[in-house]
C-alpha cells in the first residue's frame, strides 16, 4: 500500500519507499564492513521489524543467520505502557555469537533497554542494535544504537513495519498518522 492510496489517514509523508530503500542499503554496507568476516546473527523484534529484517538481510553481502523475538510494551494504544513482556524467545543459543538486534523503531527506549539487558546476560561475543527509525525526543531510557536509518519527530508514525493497532505495517512509505484515525 502506498501513502497516495490513503491520503486522508496521514498528515504527511516523512520518507518514501525509495528513501527508505536507499538508506537501508547504506546501513547494510556499514554492517558488512563491520561484520563481513564474522558469524553474525540478526535478531529481529516482532512484529514491526519484519520489513526491516527482510530488506536488511537481502541488502547484506555477507552470510547471516536470523532469529526472532516478540516483545510487547504497547497493546493497541499509541504510547508505550512501560511494561515489557517476552512473548516469543530466541530458538538460537547466542553465547559467543555476534548478535545484531534489528528493530523497526526506538522511541522511549524502555523495551529495548530491557531486551538488551536480557540478551547481554546470555553472554554473546558482541551485542549491537540496528534500528530503521528512532525518536530522539521521546527517549526516556538511553540505549546505545550502532546503526540508525532515520530520526523521526515525536509523533505517531506508521508505515514500513510501524503500525497502529496492527494496521499500516504494509504501507511502503512512512508517514504521520492523522489524529482523527486514533482519537
For 79-111, how does the pLDDT look when each residue is reduced to its tens digit (9 = 90+)? Answer: 555 678 899 999 999 999 999 999 999 988 888
In a domain, 176, yes or no: no
Global pTM? 0.91
Instruction: Please check the confidence at residue 150 and state whether its pLDDT lies above 90.
Output: yes
In a domain, 175, yes or no: no
> In CATH, what number is assigned to the domain containing residue 117?
3.40.50.2020
Our count of domains for the chain comes to: 1
Nine-digit cell string for 94: 547466542
In a domain, 157, yes or no: no
In a domain, 58, yes or no: yes
Active-site residue list: 107
In a domain, 5, yes or no: no
In a domain, 81, yes or no: yes
The three-class DSSP label of residue 21 is helix
Q: How far apart are CA 67 and CA 98, in angstroms?
A: 13
In a domain, 8, yes or no: no
Q: How far apart are CA 124 and CA 119, in angstroms?
A: 8
Per-residue pLDDT at 82:
62
In a domain, 101, yes or no: yes
**CB contact set of 119 (below 8 Å; sequence gap of 6+):** 43, 94, 99, 101, 127
Amino acid at each position: 500500500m502506498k501513502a497516495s492510496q490513503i491520503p486522508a489517514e496521514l498528515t504527511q509523508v516523512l520518507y518514501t519507499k525509495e528513501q527508505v530503500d536507499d538508506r537501508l542499503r547504506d546501513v547494510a554496507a556499514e554492517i558488512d564492513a563491520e561484520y563481513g568476516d564474522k558469524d553474525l546473527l540478526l535478531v529481529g523484534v516482532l512484529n514491526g521489524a519484519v520489513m526491516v529484517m527482510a530488506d536488511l538481510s537481502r541488502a547484506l553481502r555477507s552470510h547471516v543467520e536470523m532469529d526472532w523475538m516478540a516483545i510487547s510494551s504497547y497493546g493497541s494504544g499509541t504510547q508505550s505502557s512501560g511494561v515489557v513482556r517476552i512473548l516469543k524467545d530466541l530458538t538460537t543459543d547466542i553465547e559467543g555469537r555476534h548478535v545484531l538486534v534489528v528493530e523497526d523503531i526506538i522511541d522511549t527506549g524502555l523495551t529495548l533497554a530491557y531486551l538488551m539487558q536480557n540478551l547481554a546476560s546470555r553472554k554473546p561475543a558482541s551485542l549491537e542494535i540496528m534500528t530503521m527509525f528512532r525518536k530522539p525526543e521521546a527517549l526516556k531510557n538511553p540505549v546505545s544504537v550502532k546503526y540508525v536509518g532515520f530520526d523521526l519527530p515525536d509523533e505517531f508514525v506508521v508505515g514500513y513495519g510501524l503500525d497502529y493497532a496492527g494496521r499500516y505495517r504494509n504501507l511502503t512509505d512512512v508517514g504521520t498518522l492523522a489524529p482523527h484515525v486514533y482519537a
